[in-house]
Every structure is written in structure tokens, then in C-alpha cells.
Amino acid sequence: MRFGISPEKIFSIPPPVDTEKFRVREERDVLRARYGIPQDKRVVLSVAALNRVHKRTDYLIREVARLGEDYFLLLVGHVEDFSLQRLARKQLGDRFYFPHSPFEKVEEIYHLADLFTVCSLAEGFCLAFVEAMSARLAVIAHDAPHFEWLIGDRRCLVDMSQDGNLARKIEQMLRDEKGTQDVVSDNYDRAVGRFDWSRLKSQYLDMYERISHGTAKGTSQLTSVWS
């Protein structure tokens, strides 16, 4: 009621994900060969709009550069700031790639990588994290209440407002292979349990039923951000 909308007219449902779509179907070395990704590098992946203001791609580039020659950065998404390509070349040399991947092929991109991150400090949702979790990929997000809710594991969070923190967290996570695999397994279970279409279907059907039968007449809002 605070904004003049009665509670029965507001629906808050997460966007559903077909988690089965992100199941491994080809070995990593096969996929890396197809995309021209070095087999001997630790690959950090980000799937997001590529910009400086919201997704903070420039911060990610600088943090991966801190990690040294063993790391490779894969940036997938619409390039909104072409100066980021120049920054990546300056900071990383040839240890980066901006692939043009069709939407229907994005799921296999997750299986090229060792770790996934998006460096935004705030989000409406950030569906790519759920996709990465569904692909059984290690994830790191900014330490903020929304990302703690979204991922559900504080071991995957770090304060990205400070230089150097993400680089240290990446190194720590990939060094602890056994611990990271436990986190990855837990994240996968949460992604399926909370965001798979099979778990959310009844909530969507109930919403459509209420709207179609007039129990939520007037202004209705679905507070779900697909980004």
C-alpha cells in the first residue's frame, strides 16, 4: 500500500531457468578448441552487458590482470563501451576474448570456464549467476544482501568495491579445489531447487489464474527482472 498498489495486485516470482539446458554435453577441452581458448589457462568468464558504469567490466579486466599469465578472461555480451577492448589489450595482452556467441549457444560457453563473475555492485536479479550455477561453475559475486539471497552462500561473496579483492578471491577459490567443488555442488542444488521452471511453474500458473479470473483486477506488477 505504500506506493498506492494493494498487495493482491503485486506478484514477486523469480524468472525461471531450464537448468537441464546447462548440463555438460561436451568435454571442456573440446569446447575450448572450438572457441580458440587456451587449454593451459584458468579461464574467468563474465556473461553480461560490457560497460563501465553498471557491470563494471573495467574493474574485472584490471582484477584478472593482477592474477598474471596463467589467467584468461572471456567476456560475453553486448559491448556498450568499445574502450574496454583497448583496456583489455593494454592490461591482458592476448589473454582475453570477446566472442560473438548466438543466444542458443551461450549455455556451452559456461563449460569453457573455471569460474564465473559479474562485477556489478547492485542488480535487479542477474540471471547469469543462476545459469552459471546450473552449469556447475564456481561463481563469485559482490558482497551485498541481494547476491547473498540469490546465490545463498557467503563463500561466493567478496567486497568488489575495493581493488585487489576479487583477484585474491579468485585465486583462493581456484586453489582450494575440493572446497570449491563442494560449493559448486551446493550452488547447483539451490539453483535447481529455487529457480528451475519445474519448481516455479505452479506460482506462474497461480498468477495467471488470479489475473484471468479477476482476483487481481487493475494494475498488476510482476517484480521479476530478466538481466
Q: What is the pLDDT of residues 146-200, one digit of tens each?
A: 999 999 999 999 999 999 999 999 999 999 999 999 999 999 999 999 999 988 8
Average pLDDT over residues 203-217: 74
Average pLDDT over residues 125-153: 97
pLDDT of 23 strictly over 80:
yes
Q: What percent of the chain has pLDDT over 70?
A: 89
* CB within 8 Å of 121: residues ≥ 6 apart: 56, 142, 144, 160, 161
SS3 call for 140 = strand
Residue 85: pLDDT band with limits 50, 70, 90: very high
Q: Which of 167, 159, 172 is nearest to 60 (CA)?
A: 167
Give the start-to-end residue ranges of the domains of the chain.
1-16+197-227, 18-195
The model's pLDDT over 28-65, given as tens digits with 9 standing for 90+, comes to: 999 999 999 999 999 999 999 999 999 999 999 999 99
Instruction: Identify the bridge partners of residue 149 per DSSP, sorted by sequence position.
Output: none
pLDDT of residue 91: 98
pLDDT of residue 112: 93
pLDDT of 218 strictly over 80:
no
pLDDT of residue 2: 61
In order of 83, 93, 163, the CA distances from 90 in angstroms are 11, 6, 18
pLDDT of residue 86: 97
Residue 224: pLDDT band with limits 50, 70, 90: very low
Which pTM value belongs to this model?
0.88
Check whether domain 18-195 has CATH 3.40.50.2000, yes or no: yes
pLDDT of residue 226: 43
pLDDT of residue 147: 98
Mean pLDDT of all residues belonging to the chain: 90
- From the CB of residue 8, how many other CB atoms can be counted at a distance below 10 Å? 12
Instruction: Identify the bridge partners of residue 76 per DSSP, sorted by sequence position.
Output: 47
For residue 49 the three cell numbers come to: 552487458
pLDDT of 227 strictly over 60:
no
